[in-house]
Chain A
Amino acid sequence: MNDLLIKLAKIDRRYIFLFVAIAVIIPLLFPLNFPTRATPHTKAVFDIIDQIPPDNNPILISFDYGPSTMPECHPMAYAILRHAFSRKVRAIGVTLASDAAGLGEEAMRNVAREYGREYGRDYAFLGFKPGGSAVILSIGEDIKKTFPQDFYGKPTAEIPMLTEVKNYNQISLVIPLTGSATATAWIIYAGTRYHARVADGVTAVMAAELYPYLQTKQLSGLLAGLKGASEYEHLVKEAGYSEGARRASRGMDALSTMHLVIIAFIILGNIGFFLSRRSAKKGERT
């Protein structure tokens, strides 16, 4: 038994890849429907949007992710937009990442079509603006001066839903969706400098470093990775706002089984390591 465990600790890593692939593919083909429970941080974002009166101050979504982090952030965008548009909450889209403009535009256009929302009246996509933190600060002064034209080249001064929006004071919630440091930039510049209410949707890699901001209430809520997206999809579905495709929730079964496989290999690897170290010590003594 000990020899077997020692051998397992030295297993060719390609077998691990194979097990991981099986753990991902099988739950995707045959869903296990593991239960989803929303964490308080996800629920907080949902509750804020749920309490915004219809056709009132819009939410501002910053699509700050590219194709490389799309599997985690894109489902968040869809779930939040479905929630907002189903409740007639208006939305403004911007992006600080130049490769994200296409993704943000696609998400807003598709969800708006699902709920029959009209461009200019219910939502607007202002596109990409270079400058990062300078753009965040500039929105705090005047969003229309920051983005003189929208993504399609139309002057923002002519967009009806923006007539009453000057800066963060007329924005209900700022939600950056990102896998980069812009998550903290929005907290620092929009939140601290202009007292905007900020809730982040980030890749799981980023999540751990954002918890201190939750504790100090600088962040009103947090969607962390695929799990956060899946929790939000679950909340939106549970509240009856959407029956649409739930890509993150489908991925969660695979994520859970994959984690179990990785945990099993970590445990086996550690047992094998300690056993091989013990047998090496025995060998030294004899």
Chain B
Amino acid sequence: MIPMDTLWTWIAALLTLAIFSFLYKDNPFYKFAEHLFVGISAGYWVMLDYYNSVVPNLIVPVFKDHNFWFIIPGLLGILFFTRFIPKLGFLILLPISFYIGGYAGLYIGPGLQARLLKQLQGSMLSPADFADPGMLINKVIVLIGILGSMLYFYFSKEHKGVLKVASNIGIWFIMVGFGAAFGYTVMARASLLIGRIQFLLMDWLHLIR
């Protein structure tokens, strides 16, 4: 009798290899693994969301705790499905407007504070920065980068003279930012590949411990 863990490891390993086979060229093994993934994912998410969201937030409060207020958000949620009925499709606007209104209300205050005011504050020079030359240099670079990048996106005046110089500096900062983001993206994708190879060598083939 094959232990279940071993069986699942073999299935996972063979499916991983089936997906990797696409790197050579498209083939039936890849297609099979891809379709299997799409089908299982859809079923998995439906069940996961039903038991993690619908049951504890609607079924249990209404039918077990008899808290009937939960029927209102439940009905609003059901209205999302009206888009499948052309005549009643407009009703979807109701839950969407609640959702947008609620989220905007939650976000605007702290979002403005965290993403704008704190960032503005962080880019300003304070007397304390002059005490530490290293910090001062960093802050000046940040300030130049911010002003340059913002001026690059200032389109109300033709980029000539000082504005052209400033926006050229800005584009260099933007490019460095893109480069850093791209480098990190490559690193992230490489990490995922390493994770899979580790699984194959460690958990499946037991070549490394």
Binding site for B on A (CB under 8 A): 14, 17, 20-21, 24-25, 28-29, 68-72, 98-99, 101, 128, 130, 133-134, 137, 184, 187-189, 191-193, 203-205, 207-209, 212-213, 215-218, 224-227, 247, 250-251, 254-255, 258-259, 262
Q: A98-B52, A99-B48, A133-B106 are in contact. Are A205 and B188 (CB under 8 A)?
A: yes
What are the 10 closest A-B residue pairs judged by CB atoms, nearest first?
Answer: A71-B195, A216-B122, A204-B188, A226-B191, A192-B114, A208-B181, A204-B187, A204-B184, A188-B114, A205-B188
- The yes or no answer to B177 lying at the interface (CB within 8 A) is yes
Binding site for A on B (CB under 8 A): 23-24, 44-45, 48-49, 52-53, 57, 103, 106-107, 109-111, 113-115, 118-119, 121-122, 142, 177, 180-181, 184-188, 190-198, 201, 207-208
* Contact between chains at B110 and A193 (CB < 8 Å): yes
Q: A229 to nearest B CB, angstroms? A: 9
Q: B150 to nearest A CB, angstroms? A: 14
When distances are taken between beta carbons in the complex, the residues of chain A under 8 Å from B23 are 14, 17
Q: A280 to nearest B CB, angstroms? A: 26
Would you call the interface of chain B mostly helix, strand, loop, or mixed?
Answer: helix
* Contact between chains at B187 and A259 (CB < 8 Å): yes
Cα–Cα, bound, A184→B110 (Å): 11
When distances are taken between beta carbons in the complex, the residues of chain A under 8 Å from B24 are 14
Cα–Cα, bound, A105→B118 (Å): 35
Q: A207-B184, A212-B119, A216-B118 are in contact. Are A134 and B57 (CB under 8 A)?
A: no
Q: A29-B207, A98-B52, A204-B188 are in contact. Are A188 and B111 (CB under 8 A)?
A: yes
Q: A225 to nearest B CB, angstroms? A: 6
Cα–Cα, bound, A263→B102 (Å): 47
Cα–Cα, bound, A133→B114 (Å): 14
Q: List 21 A-B contacts (CB under 8 A).
A: A17-B23, A72-B188, A72-B191, A98-B45, A98-B49, A130-B49, A130-B57, A187-B114, A192-B113, A192-B114, A205-B188, A208-B177, A212-B122, A216-B122, A225-B187, A225-B191, A226-B194, A255-B191, A258-B190, A262-B186, A262-B190
Cα–Cα, bound, A126→B202 (Å): 31
When distances are taken between beta carbons in the complex, the residues of chain B under 8 Å from A28 are 194, 197-198, 201, 208
Cα–Cα, bound, A68→B181 (Å): 19
When distances are taken between beta carbons in the complex, the residues of chain B under 8 Å from A128 are 52
* Contact between chains at A25 and B201 (CB < 8 Å): yes
* Contact between chains at B48 and A98 (CB < 8 Å): yes
When distances are taken between beta carbons in the complex, the residues of chain B under 8 Å from A226 are 187, 191, 194
* Contact between chains at B57 and A24 (CB < 8 Å): no
Q: A212-B119, A216-B119 are in contact. Are A205 and B185 (CB under 8 A)?
A: yes
Cα–Cα, bound, A221→B24 (Å): 41
Cα–Cα, bound, A184→B115 (Å): 9
When distances are taken between beta carbons in the complex, the residues of chain A under 8 Å from B110 are 188-189, 192-193
* Contact between chains at A255 and B118 (CB < 8 Å): no
Q: B135 to nearest A CB, angstroms? A: 11
When distances are taken between beta carbons in the complex, the residues of chain B under 8 Å from A258 are 190, 193-194
* Contact between chains at A251 and B195 (CB < 8 Å): yes
